[in-house]
Amino acid sequence: MSNYFYTDYSAMTTNDWIGLSVTVIIFILMAIAYFKVFRPKNRDKLEKHKFIIMDD
């Protein structure tokens, strides 16, 4: 099983490293956004912006 998930980091190209970095950064930012949005204590703060598009 460990051979299946083995990654040869020395063989990775610049594009591979950029893709890996972007993927990890987006994952972290999405996790932060989900925790911020779905926390119950932030509900009132976010609810007041609920119809901000309709106001314009």
| pLDDT given at position 56 | 64
Backbone angles phi, psi at 8, to 5 degrees: -90, 90
Q: Could you tell me the two tokens for 24?
A: 């990890």
For residue range 2-56, list pLDDT tens digits in order.
888 898 999 999 999 999 999 999 999 999 999 888 888 888 888 887 888 777 6
Residue 40 to residues 5, 28, 31, Cα–Cα distance (Å): 38, 20, 16
d(CA 6, CA 12): 13
